[in-house]
């Protein structure tokens, strides 16, 4: 790990600074999502956060995941959020409290997560230099694109989870329709 | 000194000292920095889930937490030269889409019943 430390390590120089910028933007927009009082502002900050995380994915050579992130999160989920915000438009009460008093539970959870995290970070040696830098764009020994490699893996090695995910999406769609429709007759 | 490298050395995993005498603009990002960013993102989402009262903001915070998980998966996937992490994060994005659809349908349902989005008022089962 000490030899060729700067050349073998993945993100150096300009890419490293890009990571710093994207990381700071990610965390800043995430804080803004949580802190903003207006849900529309929260949703727009969330959109910015999704896009910056997609930039981080692309920086990590996961181009397909970055594109899916932009399409699914930035396109689908964000439209869904904005539609629901418009549907339920609640009056903004001036002095309404945005936060509830669960700070103690949140801090407890933070400690519960932070201690093992720091322990693992301090003791574990994670691999830093990949064995095969082209692993993301290879099928067998041929070098192709990242999307093709992901598709190859998805349809060959993970076919059953793929089908289960499609069934899951069908169930979620039916469930959302049933939950969202007005009750035709009085049930309760 | 650059803040990120100092943070790494504070954890006790500083880079080799040879990198220290390089040009000061050199920024070397290790997996630990990804882990720290992901942890902070997850924590921000957790605080949002526990602390906000608006149901919509709670759902958005859940999405933030899923993003943090995806970040970890992708970062480790590259270090391990394995495509599995990327495929898994595609699945996580799929689950997040379904979860958002169900959650927002529940939001509409809650709003019809209670005329509010405050999670503190949806306490029928609290006893």
Which chain A residues contact residue B16 at CB under 8 A? 1-2, 5
Quote the pTM value: 0.82
User: Could you give the CA distance from residue A96 to residue A65 in angstroms, rounded to a whole number?
Assistant: 39
Q: How far is CA B27 from the centre of its chain?
A: 23
The alpha-carbon gap from B107 to the nearest alpha carbon of chain A, in Å, equals 8
Cβ contact B48–A90 (<8 Å): no
Distance of CA A93 to the CA centre of its chain: 31
Mean pLDDT of chain B: 80
Check CB contact under 8 Å for B83 and A11.
Answer: no
Report the distance separating Cα A131 and Cα A109, nearest Å: 36
Q: What is the pLDDT of residue B2?
A: 45
More confident of the two residues A71 and B29 = A71
pLDDT means per 10 residues in chain A (188 residues)? 45 83 94 90 94 92 92 91 84 64 86 90 80 75 84 90 94 91 64
pLDDT mean over B111-120: 81
Q: Hey, which residues 104-163 in chain A have their CB within 8 Å of chain B?
A: 105-106, 109-110, 113-114, 117-118, 121-122, 126-133, 135-136, 149-150, 153-154, 157-158, 161
Tokens of B3: 């803040």
> What DSSP letter does each residue of A82-107 carry, written as one string?
HHHHHHT-----TT--SB-S-HHHHH
Reduced to 3 states, what is the DSSP secondary structure of residue A9? coil
Q: What is the mean pLDDT of residues B115-122?
A: 78
Question: Residue A93 has what pLDDT?
Answer: 56
User: How far apart are the C-alpha atoms of A122 and A124, rounded to whole Å?
Assistant: 6
ipTM (interface pTM)? 0.85
Give residue B14's pLDDT.
47
Rounded to the nearest 5 degrees, what angle is found at the Cα of A73, between the Cα atoms of A67 and A74?
A: 80
User: Where is A139: in which H helix or E strand?
Assistant: strand A138-139
Kindly report the nearest CA distance between residue A58 and chain B, in angstroms.
10
Residue B22 DSSP code: S
With both helix axes pointing from N to C terminus, report the angle between A39-59 and A13-35 in degrees, rounded to the nearest 10: 160
Q: Between B18, B50, B119, which is nearest A2 by CB? A: B18
CB contact under 8 A, B75 and A113: no
Say yes or no: A85 contacts chain B, CB-CB below 8 A: yes
pLDDT given for residue A144 in this prediction: 83
CA-based nearest residue in chain A for residue B102: A176
Residues 6+ apart with CB under 8 A from A162: A154, A155
| Nearest CB to B16; choose among A2, A57, A177 | A2
Task: Give the residue on B whose Cα is nearest the Cα of A131.
Answer: B81
- A113 and B39: CB-CB below 8 Å? yes
CA distance A179 to A174: 9
pLDDT of residue B13: 47
Q: Cβ separation of A65 and B93 shorter than 8 Å?
A: yes
Question: Are residues A20 and B34 in contact, defined by beta-carbon separation less than 8 angstroms?
Answer: no
- Cβ of A90 and B117 within 8 Å? yes
Closest chain B C-alpha to A174 CA, distance in angstroms: 9
What is the spatial distance between Cα A111 and Cα A108, in angstroms, rounded to a whole number?
A: 5
In chain A, the N- to C-terminal Cα span, in Å, equals 66
Give CA–CA dist A171/A162, Å, rounded: 14
Q: How far apart are CA A137 and CA A140, in angstroms?
A: 10
User: Is the model's pLDDT at B92 over the cut of 90?
Assistant: yes
How many angstroms separate the CA atoms of B28 and A118, rounded? Answer: 20
Q: Please give the interface size between A and B, counted as residue pairs whose CB atoms are below 8 Å apart.
A: 266
- Tokens matching residue A82: 């904005």
Is 50 exceeded by the pLDDT of residue B24?
yes
| Candidates A30, A65, A157; nearest CB to B90 | A65
């Amino acid at each position: 790990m000490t030899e060729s430390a700067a050349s073998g390590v993945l993100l150096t120089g300009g890419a490293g600074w890009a990571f710093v910028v994207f990381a700071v933007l990610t965390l800043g927009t995430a804080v803004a999502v949580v802190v903003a009082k207006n849900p529309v502002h929260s949703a727009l900050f969330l959109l910015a956060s999704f896009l910056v995380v997609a930039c981080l994915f692309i920086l990590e050579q996961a181009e397909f995941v970055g594109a899916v992130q932009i399409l699914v999160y930035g396109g689908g989920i964000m439209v869904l959020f904005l539609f629901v915000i418009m549907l339920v438009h609640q009056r903004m009460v001036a002095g309404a409290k945005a936060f509830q008093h669960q700070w103690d539970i949140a801090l407890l959870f933070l400690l519960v997560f932070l201690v093992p995290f720091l322990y693992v970070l301090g003791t574990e040696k994670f691999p830093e230099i990949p064995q095969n830098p082209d692993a993301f764009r290879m099928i067998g020994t041929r070098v192709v694109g990242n999307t093709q490699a992901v598709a190859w893996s998805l349809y060959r090695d993970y076919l059953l989870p793929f089908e289960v995910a499609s069934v899951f999406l069908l169930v979620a769609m039916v469930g959302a329709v049933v939950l969202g429709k007005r009750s035709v007759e009085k049930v309760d | 000194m650059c803040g990120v490298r100092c943070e790494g050395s504070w954890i006790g995993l500083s880079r080799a000292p040879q990198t220290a005498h390089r040009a000061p603009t050199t920024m070397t990002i290790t997996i630990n920095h990804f882990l720290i960013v992901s942890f902070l993102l997850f924590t921000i989402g957790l605080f949002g889930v526990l602390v906000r009262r608006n149901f919509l903001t709670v759902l958005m915070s859940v999405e933030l937490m899923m993003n943090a998980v995806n970040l970890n998966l992708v970062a480790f996937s590259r270090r391990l030269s394995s495509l599995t992490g990327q495929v898994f994060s595609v699945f996580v994005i799929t689950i997040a889409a379904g979860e958002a659809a169900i959650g927002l349908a529940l939001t509409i349902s809650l709003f019809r019943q209670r005329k509010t989005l405050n999670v503190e008022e949806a306490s029928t089962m609290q006893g």
